[in-house]
């Protein structure tokens, strides 16, 4: 992080605070910082979201393209994650400086969205074996204030929730080539089913305890953090009753940082992560559904960065 200088005693202060379940900004070890979320603010993308979690600022946009499905998975669409660390966040990201961080986050997201129980790629199929949608999820990191992974996963889920894919009116077969006719009507589109999309929760090991949503200062006090990706609960995102209670499964687990952990700590941490992820998912669902309801009546003017 840019110019983050902590003395030994400051670090010790943070460690002791975590030990007593009372952090320097007044949170307990299981609390998140307040966040701001806004969807649908990039006109050139099919879905977008901006998330601000304390000092971490992200813009996620989803763009769609028509592609040919890979030969061994003819009935599945494609999704690709792309992270760009803007130099606005810190001068260290200038040029190719942020690439290593970017690739790490992109790989993690790709792993989390791999299973069909996390994100069903079948909904992106247009014509089996011939045509499918490819989603480009572009993540732009504008400011880093700790806990990038969680923020990225939240913003990605919000952007996918906001994504509308145009309906296909007709498919013409011309010899071996497929000719698609897409609907021109901007309101004739379908939404993606993102209920199960995973959220990542970073559990930062400070001293003997794990905290969620570490700030940049707390991150510098820890040698190892555990990132768990947990699939969402679809019942929160839909008005339909009697949906099967699925979700809450691990879609990816990864460790970051140069340290190591004891098996018991790891087990405790993943249990802690699942609790945090479920609460987070519920809060996100509530916010997104509220925003959608508001938008149905009148398209509110977006605040964007003007607020």
Partner 1 sequence: MPLDYRRFNGPEDSVSYKRFTKGYLKSYDELYKESLDDKGVRKDGRALSEARSLFARTDMVSQAKGSSYVELRKTKVVCSVFDPREIPHQNEFSQLGQIFCEVKFAPFSCPRRRRPHVPDAEEKALSVALRKALEPTVCRHMFPNYQVDVFIYILENDGSCLSAAINAAGLALADAAVPMYDVITSCTVAIVGEKMFVDPTEAEENLATISPSTPINHGIITLSMLSELKQISDFTQVGSMDVECVVKAMDILDKECARLVPLMQKVLVANVLKCFETRKRLEEEANEKEQLLNAKMDEWKKLLKFT
Partner 2 sequence: MPGPDLLSSQGLRLDGRRPNELRRIQCKLGVFTQPDGSAYLEQGNTKVLAAVYGPHQAAKSKSLQDSVVVNCQYSMATFSTGERKNRPRGDRKSQEMSMHLRQALMAAIKTELYPRSQIDIYVEVLQADGGAYCTSVNAATLALIDAGIPIKAYVIACTASLAWKDGEPEPLVDVSHVEEAAGGVVLTVASMPSTGAIGLIEMSHRLHMDYFDTVLSRAMQGCKDIEVILDKVVREHLAEGWTKSDDAITI
Nearest CA among 73, 154, 76 for reference residue 119? 76
Least CB distance to partner 1 at residue 88 (A): 22
Helix pair angle (263-297, 148-162), 10° resolution? 30
Those residues whose C-beta lies under 8 Å from the C-beta of residue 45, and which sit 6 or more positions away, are 61, 62, 63, 138
Task: Write the binding mask 13 to 42 for partner 2: x where contact by CB under 8 A, - elsewhere.
Answer: -----------------------------x
Candidate ranges 52-60, 166-174, 224-232, 288-296; the one touching partner 1 (CB under 8 A): 224-232
Of 45 and 200, which CB lies nearer to partner 2 in the complex structure? Answer: 45
- Shortest reach from residue 238's CB to partner 1, in Å: 17
Rule CB under 8 A: say whether 66 interacts with partner 2.
no
Q: Rounded CA gap, 199 and 288, in Å?
A: 15
Torsion of CA 83, 229, 246, 193, to 10 degrees: 0
Element housing 276 (H / E): helix 263-297
131 binds partner 1 (CB under 8 A): no
Taking a C-beta distance cutoff of 8 angstroms, is the pair 231, 251 a contact? yes
End-to-end CA distance of the chain: 25
Instruction: Candidates 26, 34, 71, 95: give the one binding partner 1 (CB under 8 A).
Output: 71
CA 228, 229, 234, 237 torsion: positive or negative?
Answer: positive
Residues in region 82-101 near partner 2 by CB under 8 A: 82, 84, 86-91, 94-96
DSSP 3-state assignment of 158? helix
The phi and psi torsions of 165 (rounded to 5 degrees) equal -100, 130
Among 27, 164, 249, 292, binds partner 1 (CB under 8 A): 249
Minimal distance in Å, beta carbon 221 to partner 1? 16
Q: Which is nearer to partner 1, 166 or 257 (CB)?
A: 257
- CA separation for the pair 90, 146 (Å, rounded): 13
Please select the residue that binds partner 2; options are 10, 136, 164, 282, rule is CB under 8 A: 136
Q: What residues make contact with partner 1 under the rule CB under 8 A? A: 71-72, 103-104, 107, 111, 114-118, 224, 226, 231, 244, 246, 248-263, 266-267, 270-271, 274
Q: What residues make contact with partner 2 under the rule CB under 8 A? A: 2, 42-45, 48, 55, 57, 59, 61, 63, 65, 82, 84, 86-91, 94-96, 136, 138, 140, 142-145, 304-307
């Amino acid at each position: 992080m840019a110019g983050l200088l902590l003395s030994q005693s400051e670090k010790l202060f943070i460690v002791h605070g975590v030990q007593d379940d009372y952090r320097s900004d007044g949170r307990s070890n299981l609390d998140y910082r307040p966040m701001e979320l806004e969807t649908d603010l990039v006109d050139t993308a099919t879905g977008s979201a901006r998330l601000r979690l304390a000092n971490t600022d992200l813009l996620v946009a989803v763009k769609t393209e028509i592609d040919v499905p890979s030969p061994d998975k003819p009935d599945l669409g494609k999704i690709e994650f792309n992270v760009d660390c803007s130099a606005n966040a810190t001068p260290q990201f200038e040029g190719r400086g942020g690439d290593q961080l970017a690739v790490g986050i992109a790989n993690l997201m790709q792993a989390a969205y791999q299973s069909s129980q996390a994100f069903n790629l079948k909904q992106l199929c247009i014509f089996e074996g011939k045509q499918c949608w490819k989603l480009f999820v572009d993540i732009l990191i504008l400011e880093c204030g700790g806990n990038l992974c969680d923020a990225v996963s939240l913003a990605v889920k919000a952007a996918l929730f906001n994504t509308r894919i145009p309906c296909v009116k007709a498919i013409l077969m011309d010899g071996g080539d497929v000719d698609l006719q897409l609907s021109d009507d901007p309101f004739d589109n379908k939404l993606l089913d993102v209920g199960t999309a995973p959220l990542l929760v970073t559990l930062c090991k400070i001293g003997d305890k794990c905290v969620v949503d570490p700030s940049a200062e707390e991150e510098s006090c820890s040698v190892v953090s555990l990132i768990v990706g947990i699939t969402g609960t679809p019942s929160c995102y839909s008005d339909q009753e009697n949906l099967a209670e699925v979700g809450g499964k691990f879609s990816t687990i990864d460790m970051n940082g140069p340290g190591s952990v004891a098996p018991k700590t790891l087990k405790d941490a993943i249990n802690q992560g699942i609790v945090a992820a479920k609460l987070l998912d519920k809060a996100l669902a509530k916010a997104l559904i509220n925003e959608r309801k508001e938008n149905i009546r009148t398209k509110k003017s977006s605040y964007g960065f003007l607020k």
